[in-house]
Amino acid sequence: MTANSMDDAAVTNLQNYLRIRSVHPNINYDECLVHLRGQANELGLSVQEFEPVPKKPILVMTWEGQEPTLPSILLNSHMDVVPVFEKSWKHPPFAAEIEDGVIYGRGVQDMKSVGVQFIEAIRRLKNQGIRLKRTVHLSFVPDEEVGGRQGMGEFVKTDGFKKLNVGFALDEGHASTTEEYLVFNGERSIWHVNVICPGKSGHGSLLLPDNCGEKVRYIIDKFMDLRQESKKKLENDPALTIGDVTTVNLTMLSGGIQSNVVPEKFTATFDLRLALSVDHKEFEDMIKRWCSEAGDNVTYTFDQKEHYVPLTPLDATNPYWLAFKSATDDLKLSIKILTFPGGTDSRYVRDMGIFALGFTPITLTEPELHQHNESLKIDVFLKGISTFEKIIHAVANV
């Protein structure tokens, strides 16, 4: 195949993958699995399928290395995409249409393009007759967009994952608006907390004691004050990014049955992303103190409470990093190290003591994760394949 025909085939592969409506909620992943099995068959890669949670399948393609007993390389991507508001799109979100060298589709940045780049990079390496020292696994997982706990979160606990013998993993990052490539070696801990503020119910015309509204106001004020502290940190230090601070957002406020009835409770729900510098015990003790100060019987529960997961080291203790950096240097890529602002499957892999980096080779592009009209320039997509070709070759020969 010529270079042009390989590029055309890669774009077609991406379009076909984008046209699969693996969109939340209630995803049936069967069409994804059929497509990916076909790709593995074309590449001559073996396939394993796992289902640690019913209807949450995981497909792993494997290219065995020359020294298969060495720790392997994992190239991870997720099959699922977030919902769409179809009327707000200029192109149908699952048509993968191309206009002026730009491909539009839900998941084209987050992160079906990366999954296809992995596949196409392996295809090109194999077409050159290259053999790698370490085994390379390509994993395609479900449910990352709803937290990944029933996808990679369960998979890493299984014997099937342990037998992959992973030493280093690559997963998603996000697009960069500049020429710098963004590399993420850690993530903040996600806490979703509900603060329950009970009180005396009664008629809306009275000033009853033990009022749930007063209690929830105190709680909201405390969390919003903390939010302001983080905003000031970012404003006062341009070197900081959103991943360097604790973010606080009030995401749900529930309670009440009628406009003239004081309810018996209000519940405030907060999305918290704890900076890596935060002591988790001290932070929870602070929440406990706020609840005590707010009034009688104020309590809290967690929908999600992640523990601290160490950063992947970027020094001589991590030979995969040295290989990754050598490859990007050879490609003359300018890279910037950051803490990922959201949550990816990398945190589950790092929690197993495995080195992992988040890296999406998309530059000079506005990040459009979860947005209307998610898009990607075709030339940027194709350049990313060549970038991964170099990086995979380097890390798999450590």
Q: What does the pLDDT look like over 150-207, one tens digit per residue? A: 999 999 999 999 999 999 999 999 999 999 999 999 999 999 999 999 999 999 999 9
Q: What mean pLDDT do residues 93-114 have?
A: 98
Is 230 within 8 Å of 256 (Cβ atoms)?
no
Is 65 within 8 Å of 45 (Cβ atoms)?
no
Is 386 within 8 Å of 224 (Cβ atoms)?
no
Is 343 within 8 Å of 148 (Cβ atoms)?
yes
Q: Is the dihedral of CA 308, 109, 327, 5 positive or negative?
A: positive
User: How far apart (Å, rounded) are the C-alpha atoms in residues 364 and 386?
Assistant: 17
pTM of the model: 0.94
Answer whether residue 243 shows pLDDT above 80. Answer: yes
Per-residue confidence band for 246, with pLDDT thresholds at 50, 70 and 90: very high
Q: What mean pLDDT do residues 47-73 have?
A: 98
Per-residue confidence band for 148, with pLDDT thresholds at 50, 70 and 90: very high
User: How far apart (Å, rounded) are the C-alpha atoms in residues 56 and 99?
Assistant: 34
Q: Identify the structural domains of the chain with CATH numbers, from first to last.
A: 3-187+311-395 (3.40.630.10), 189-275+277-305 (3.30.70.360)
Closest Cα partner for 81 from 45, 112, 40?
Answer: 112
Residue where the block lists tokens 């370490």:
134
Is 374 within 8 Å of 105 (Cβ atoms)?
yes
Catalytic residues: 80, 144
Q: What are phi and psi of 90, to 5 degrees?
A: -80, -25
Q: What mean pLDDT do residues 389-398 have?
A: 98
User: How far apart (Å, rounded) are the C-alpha atoms in residues 170 and 261?
Assistant: 54
Per-residue confidence band for 273, with pLDDT thresholds at 50, 70 and 90: very high
Q: Is the dihedral of CA 5, 7, 8, 13 positive or negative?
A: positive
Which tokens belong to 254? 């529930």
Sequence-distant (≥ 6) Cβ neighbours of residue 72 within 8 angstroms: 65, 134, 135, 136, 137, 164, 165, 166, 167
Round the average pLDDT of the chain to a whole number and report it: 97
Residue where the block lists tokens 């780049």:
117
Answer whether residue 346 shows pLDDT above 90. Answer: yes
Answer whether residue 1 shows pLDDT above 80. Answer: no
Coil, strand or helix at 192: strand
Share of the chain above pLDDT 90, in %: 98
Sequence-distant (≥ 6) Cβ neighbours of residue 120 within 8 angstroms: 6, 10, 13, 385
Q: What mean pLDDT do residues 10-28 have?
A: 97
